[in-house]
């Protein structure tokens, strides 16, 4: 079976659009939680962690206080471990007690919801949070589990044959962008 190739079809968010969306989400998180007294952000590795860091910066700018930020690797919680290994396992780093916190899970792209299911299980193994909320930069639809994001940067209708990819300067060395890739037709 040959590897499927993809080519860039369109850009759905540029750097500015990402910035504006993150600023809005930061305000929405603060509004929904009545401030940042009890919240903690947990980004799903790798790109969710970048988004979480940026949200934390904005929240700090708005409220003048820092919020705890952690990063979560969900490789060991995936439901497809038997068929697929994560190419790289990263270290989970949650430097605060999740017990009783309002944990905001952060990811770049929300698709089937399976990653979020795994992440919720992982969080629960650290303690019993008061609540778990979900913030994503892009929601591309096609859920396979009853999961819904509380804070969404942009809803992007896609087909299952397409891929949505977020690139960040911190992880990819490229200018910030969210783009849709489509399969290249076999010749």
Between residues 14 and 125, which has the closer beta carbon with respect to other proteins?
A: 125
Sheet strands side by side (includes 6-14): 6-14, 177-183, 163-167
User: How near is the Cβ of 75 to other proteins at its closest, in Å?
Assistant: 7
Q: Which of residues 120-139 bind other proteins (CB under 8 A)?
A: 121, 125-127
Three-state SS at 61: helix
Residues 79 and 114 sit within 8 Å (Cβ to Cβ) = yes
Q: Which range binds other proteins by CB under 8 A, 25-33, 88-96, 129-137, 163-171?
A: 88-96
Distance of CA 86 to the CA centre of its chain: 17
Give the three-state DSSP class for 143: coil
In this chain, which stretch among 10-18, 22-30, 32-40, 78-86 interacts with other proteins, using CB under 8 A? 78-86
- C-beta closer to other proteins: residue 19 or 182: 182
Select from 27, 62, 21, 48 the least CA-distant residue to 170: 48
Q: Minimum distance between the CB of residue 45 and other proteins, rounded to whole angstroms? A: 11
- Are 179 and 57 in contact by the 8 Å Cβ rule? The answer is no
Q: Which residue in the set 87, 95, 146, 173 belongs to the binding site for other proteins (CB under 8 A)?
A: 87
Give the SS3 label for residue 36: coil
Nearer to other proteins, 26 or 122 (CB): 122
- Which are the contacts of 174, defined by CB distance < 8 A and separation ≥ 6? 167, 168
Subset of residues 145 to 184 that bind other proteins, contact rule: CB under 8 A: none
Residue holding tokens 């079809």?
9
Name which of 92 and 112 has its Cβ closer to other proteins.
Answer: 92
Task: Specify the residue, 7 or 91, whose C-beta has the smaller distance to other proteins.
Answer: 91
Interface positions with other proteins (CB under 8 A): 1, 3-4, 73, 75-77, 81-85, 87, 89-92, 121, 125-127
């Amino acid at each position: 079976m040959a590897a499927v190739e993809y080519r860039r079809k369109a850009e759905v968010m540029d750097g500015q659009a990402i910035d504006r969306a993150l600023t809005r989400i930061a305000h929405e998180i603060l509004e929904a939680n009545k401030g940042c007294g009890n919240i903690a952000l947990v980004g799903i590795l790798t790109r969710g962690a970048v988004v979480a860091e940026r949200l934390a910066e904005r929240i700090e700018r708005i409220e003048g206080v820092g919020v705890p930020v952690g990063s979560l690797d969900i490789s060991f919680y995936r439901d497809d471990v038997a068929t697929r290994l994560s190419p790289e396992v990263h270290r989970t780093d949650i430097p605060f007690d999740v017990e009783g916190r309002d944990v905001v899970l952060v990811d770049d792209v929300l698709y089937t919801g399976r990653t979020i299911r795994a992440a919720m299980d992982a969080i629960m193994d650290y303690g019993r949070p008061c609540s778990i909320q979900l913030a994503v930069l892009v929601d591309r639809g096609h859920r396979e589990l009853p999961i819904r994001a509380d804070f969404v940067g942009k809803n992007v209708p896609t087909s299952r044959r397409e891929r949505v990819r977020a690139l960040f300067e911190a992880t990819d060395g490229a200018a910030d962008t969210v783009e849709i890739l489509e399969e290249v037709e076999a010749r």
